[in-house]
Amino acid sequence: MNRIRAGRLTAWASLCALAALGLMGTAQGAPAGQATAATTAASPPPIADFFRDPQVRRPKLSPDGRAVAMIVSNSESERSALAVIEPDQGNRITVVASFTDSDIAFFDWVGSDRLVYTSGKDEAGRRRDGNSAGLWTVKRDGSERRQLILTRYAQESRLESRIITRALPFEWFLYDVPDDDSGEVIVGYGRYDARWDLKSVQLARLNIETQQRRTLEAKSPPNVVRWELDPGGEPWALQTHDEDREALYFKTAEGAWTLAQSGDWVNSPTAEPLASDGRGLRLVVAGTPAGTQALYRIDPKTLKQEDEPLVSVQGYDFQGEAVFDAESRRLLGLHYENDAPSTHWFDPTLKRMQAEVDGALPGRINRLACRRCLKTGRVMVTSMSDTQPPEYFLYDQGTHKLLAFGAARPWIRAAEMAQVDLSRVRARDGLEFPVMVTKPRGAAAGPRPAVMLVHGGPFVRGTSWGWNALPQFLASRGYVVIEPEFRGSSGYGDRLFRAGWRQWGEGMIDDLSDALAWAVKQGLVDPKRVCIAGASYGGYASMMALIKDPGQYRCGVSWAGVTDLDYLFTLDWSDASDASRRFGMTAMIGDRVKEAERLRRTSPLRRAADLKAPVLIAHGIDDRRVPIDHATDFRRALERAGHKDVEYVTYNGEGHGWRMLATDVDFFGRMERFLAKHLATKDPATPTSAQ
């Protein structure tokens, strides 16, 4: 059960003082995370510095611009808390909420005096769809806390709580927080089948003061799994799913729902609704003739998609969010991604703010968060680069001052970090794909040892320019890190994405080899000293690459890795939905009956006798995405095949992603020693980093 703690600067005093380091000080000279070459340490930073939780994250300015809420971390308990800083009240800091047995996952302002928050370790606190995160509210001074939605554990362990509390049962979850001064949030009620697969979501508005709720859109179509809301919390689009079919509906001016598009959600998906101002502007993301996804308007009269895109990004799918002024509902700008996070402002005032901030923090990506900034004149700024983890500032347009508000990882020195570059590489069949390369600092006497780092998914975007812990950790140990966006990766157009379908263990692996050949040709990498590593699909690809291309890599590392493609369909305690297995995985991985031989041939578990290189394998015992059977059975298969160089470790209490810092320190320490052993020169020097 989640136990709530709150109060003024008691046990969190030193933490919050660090979190607010430089608070209300004008940004002059180098920001806090930078260091000159003279201060660079001779030895690399300790492992924990890369993987421990950020000290401060996701600051959000209150609608009145007078307070900043943020998540802060306690390094001793490894738990996070929700804190509020009031710059106009002498920089007063209040820890308003924390748990003894969980973390703050998501929070937001409801008006300028109250916040709502959820529990959980992960960053995605909203739309949990069955992973009940609960919901609480608290005033910004830490008073009047109350629970609005029960967690699953609390409801099952204390049935009497359903009688003595007005909190909603755990099937409800926070869906959205409109910025409309109503004192209400949008909550969703999930309907699930016997396998706990989501079948539909119904919405309601919940008053966080009275805890009264009212149902929204009772006459909507059946099987709604996604709603899109305007800034005032009113639904304007929805998507339904039923078996392999999906449909997109728009709400008419008369309040009825009309079908806009329908299709096969795997092979011919509908457009993705993005945003609406609630007054006629509707934006969706859909395919272009060039094969990428772009941003389109919907004609307010016909509700048809316009022919020409509003925004398209050459070589990239549009992935982003719209920024509206909360009061006028006017579209102010767009945050989106190309090779790095980018912003386009339509509003001239925000263009000027952006220019001033960029001038004060040159050479960085500076993202402005505007809620009611045209009225308050204040914006929160997240500033980062490839060598600099995020730092946070409050920009005041009236004073033209940029005020430091803390850093995510103040212990990281930018001068010690590696620079990151993106290139485009052509595969053997002519297909072009991006490759992110992280190179160790300093001049190299010649080609360096390297790690081919394969992203998970695999049908996702794997990289974005910025500071990322794992490649920076590996680069700090002297390795060039190669991260290919191999075929199947999303975010770069339909051709690259669909080229990866049914290519597990084949063309997707060839792309890794082609990326390595390119890096060798550039003079970056010693081809005789390369290991391959990755998690989840990346772990699968690492093991399969050792089998498919023997001798190309000296070793491989897999954590939370898939080892048998048939297990993806048959392990009944995996969290994959039934529809995902029957339709998505069948189309994108293969038909387990008709293509059984190909799936066997491209499964490391079934090819264990062909794997000769040293391997390091790790898995969380509680992993439901890739159940531990993948690891245990693979280990036994390697032993039966007589493989003598296998390092194997499992972690209690860990799922698909490591949760505890102790796990990160132990595993990446093992990885550091493993790589040093197998990629060493003739006279190796064993790293001695602090752990």
pLDDT tens readout for residues 247-276:
999 999 999 999 999 999 899 999 999 999
- Transcribe 610-676 into DSSP letters: G--S-EEEEEETT-SSS-THHHHHHHHHHHHTT---EEEEEETT--SS---HHHHHHHHHHHHHHHH
* pLDDT interval class at 152 (50, 70, 90): confident
d(CA 555, CA 571): 29
d(CA 519, CA 512): 11
Q: SS3 sequence, 293-357?
A: EEEEEECCCCCCECCCCCECECCECCCEEEEECCCCCCEEEEEEECCCEEEEECCHHHHHHHHHH
**What average pLDDT is seen over the chain?**
88
pTM value is 0.90
Between strands 272-276 and 555-559, the pairing is unpaired
Quote the DSSP letter at residue 123: S
Phi-psi region of 90 (alpha: psi -120 to 50; beta: other; left: phi over 0): left
Sheet of 245-251: strand order equals 224-229, 235-242, 245-251, 257-264
Res 684 pLDDT > 90: no
Instruction: Give me the pLDDT at residue 357, please.
Output: 97
Q: What is the mean pLDDT of residues 232-260?
A: 94
Instruction: Give me the pLDDT at residue 8, please.
Output: 31
- In the chain, the amino acid numbered 342 is S
Percent of residues, the chain, with pLDDT higher than 90:
77
The CA R_g of the chain, rounded to the nearest whole Å, is 25
d(CA 408, CA 53): 8
Please give the angle made by the CA atoms of 631, 637 and 641, to the nearest 5 degrees.
Answer: 145
pLDDT, tens digit, 9 for 90 and up, residues 154-202: 555 544 444 457 899 989 999 999 999 899 999 999 998 877 788 999 9
Instruction: Give me the pLDDT at residue 364, please.
Output: 96
Res 450 pLDDT > 70: yes
Q: Of the candidates 430, 367, 368, 432, which has an alpha carbon nearest to the alpha carbon of residue 397?
A: 368
Query: Which of 73-87, 262-276, 652-666 shows the lowest per-residue confidence on average (mean pLDDT)?
Result: 73-87
Please state the φ and ψ torsions of residue 649, each to the nearest 5 degrees. Answer: -150, 140
* pLDDT interval class at 420 (50, 70, 90): very high
* pLDDT interval class at 682 (50, 70, 90): very low
Q: How many residues are there in the chain?
A: 691
* pLDDT interval class at 115 (50, 70, 90): very high
Contact 328, 313 (CB under 8 A): no
- In the chain, the amino acid numbered 201 is V
Q: What is the mean pLDDT of residues 81-88?
A: 93
Q: How deeply is 1 buried, as exposed, middle or buried, from its count of CB atoms within 10 A (0-12, 13-18, 19+)?
A: middle
**Cis, bond preceding 458 (omega within 30 deg of 0):** yes
Instruction: Give me the pLDDT at residue 132, please.
Output: 55
Residue 647: count other Cβ atoms within 10 Å of its Cβ: 16
Instruction: Give me the pLDDT at residue 321, please.
Output: 95
Residues 6+ apart with CB under 8 A from 603: 505, 563, 564, 565, 566
- In the chain, the amino acid numbered 94 is T
Res 12 pLDDT > 70: no
Res 683 pLDDT > 70: no
Q: What is the mean pLDDT of residues 86-115?
A: 92
Domains of the chain: 417-678 (3.40.50.1820)
Give, in order, the Cα–Cα distances in Å from 38 to each of 35, 41, 42, 55, 618. 8, 8, 10, 25, 38
Tokens of 450: 């390297």
pLDDT, tens digit, 9 for 90 and up, residues 526-580: 999 999 999 999 999 999 999 999 999 999 999 999 999 999 999 876 677 888 8
Res 20 pLDDT > 60: no
Contact 600, 566 (CB under 8 A): yes
Res 245 pLDDT > 50: yes
Instruction: Give me the pLDDT at residue 34, please.
Output: 45
